[in-house]
A and B are shown apart, each in its own frame.
Chain A
Amino acid sequence: MDQNYSTIGRSSRTKQAIEINKVLRNTYLLLAMTLLFSGLTASISMMMNMPPMTYLISVIGGMVIAMFVLPRFAHSTAGIGIVFLITGLLGFGLGPILSMYASVPNGSNIIMLSLGGTGVIFMGLSAYVLATRKDFSFLGGFLMVGFLLVLVAAVANIFLAIPAMSLMISAVVIMLMSGFILHDTSRIIHGGETNYILATIGLYMTIFNIFISLLQILGIMGGDD
């Protein structure tokens, strides 16, 4: 009898582990594809010489779709199309910013360092969570409150336009997004997130924000902003 319970328990755990691995694999696969797609739409936007306001319009469009449309379709295959729509839009919005950096001396170096730096941060933190299997669910409230405070500071700085404050906001965003990578990856491996579409968009947003913030920090510190 005990042996039966033990076998059932083991079988259930194995099933759960397989399910978690499937979510993780699908998340990373979709994330890789959406990042490539964003790169493609950013290139198209650069070739089309889109005006700077494209960034604002694309980010607002992407945010609205992510907040109000994606949750309705996250459990169907249509959700994959919506994720590509959001990430494509965000990539398209990046075009004018990348064009602006590319046009200044040392700009291409800043773009490449930001891109490489973002990749290293994401892969390093993901590997850390996957290797240690630590549970970072305790970070949820702290990260959300920190993010809200940063958003309030960002609203103030739109009108104040203080470069030091921009730098500080970008630095804090990188730390918070790093925390979100730890938190979101830990949620996936501990079975807290079972929807790979939502997991992908969460991780994509952290990568996008880290890239933009690194670009800004390196741009300001490089003296070419």
Chain B
Amino acid sequence: MDWMKIVAALALIMFIVYLFPRARHMMENSPKGSSADWMGFVVPILVIVLFVMLLVQLV
């Protein structure tokens, strides 16, 4: 149904407009992470990616 697509798009756009100032504030005020900090993030995310691939194999 086309009206559902339009309503969904409008809701997402509203959400984007609501989040934009918060995102900009967080971009400007978030502390910078070291390479060790980023590794501490990347490694568990890679594990999650592998886990999702395993789930796909199980379907």
- A-to-B contact residues, CB < 8 Å: 53, 56, 59-60, 63, 67, 106, 109-110, 113-114, 117, 120-121, 124-125, 128, 132, 134-142, 144-145, 147-148, 151-152, 154-155, 158-159, 171, 174-175, 178-179, 182, 214, 217-218, 221-222
Nearest B-chain residue to A219, judged by Cβ: B59
* Nearest CB of chain A from residue B35's CB, rounded to whole Å: 11
Known: A139-B30, A154-B12, A221-B56. A56 touches B4 (CB 8 A): yes
Query: CB-CB < 8 A to B59: which residues of A?
Result: 106, 109-110, 113, 218, 221-222
- B-to-A contact residues, CB < 8 Å: 1, 4-5, 7-9, 11-13, 15-16, 18-20, 22-23, 26-33, 37, 40-41, 44-45, 47-49, 51-52, 55-56, 58-59
Query: CB-CB < 8 A to A53: which residues of B?
Result: 1, 4
Query: 23 A-B contacts, Cβ less than 8 Å apart?
Result: A53-B1, A60-B7, A114-B55, A125-B48, A136-B41, A139-B41, A144-B19, A144-B27, A148-B20, A148-B23, A151-B12, A154-B12, A155-B9, A158-B5, A159-B9, A171-B52, A174-B52, A175-B45, A178-B45, A179-B45, A182-B44, A217-B55, A221-B56
* Nearest CB of chain A from residue B18's CB, rounded to whole Å: 6
The answer to whether A132 touches B19 (Cβ under 8 A) is no
A133, B56: Cα distance in complex, Å: 31
A60, B20: Cα distance in complex, Å: 18
The answer to whether B15 touches A141 (Cβ under 8 A) is no
Query: CB-CB < 8 A to B11: which residues of A?
Result: 56, 59-60, 63
Known: A139-B33, A144-B23, A174-B52. A155 touches B13 (CB 8 A): yes
The answer to whether A182 touches B30 (Cβ under 8 A) is no
A60, B18: Cα distance in complex, Å: 13
The answer to whether B31 touches A56 (Cβ under 8 A) is no
Known: A125-B44, A159-B5. A138 touches B31 (CB 8 A): yes
Number of A-B residue pairs having CB atoms within 8 Å of each other in the complex: 114
Query: CB-CB < 8 A to B49: which residues of A?
Result: 171, 175
Main secondary structure of the interface of B (DSSP, over half): helix
Query: CB-CB < 8 A to B9: which residues of A?
Result: 155, 158-159
The answer to whether B51 touches A121 (Cβ under 8 A) is yes
The answer to whether B48 touches A214 (Cβ under 8 A) is no
Known: A106-B59, A214-B55, A221-B56. A155 touches B44 (CB 8 A): no
Identify A214's interface contact among B29, B33, B37, B52, CB under 8 A.
B52
10 further A-B contacts with Cβ under 8 Å, apart from A144-B27, A158-B9, are A67-B18, A110-B59, A120-B51, A124-B47, A128-B44, A134-B37, A144-B23, A147-B19, A217-B52, A222-B56
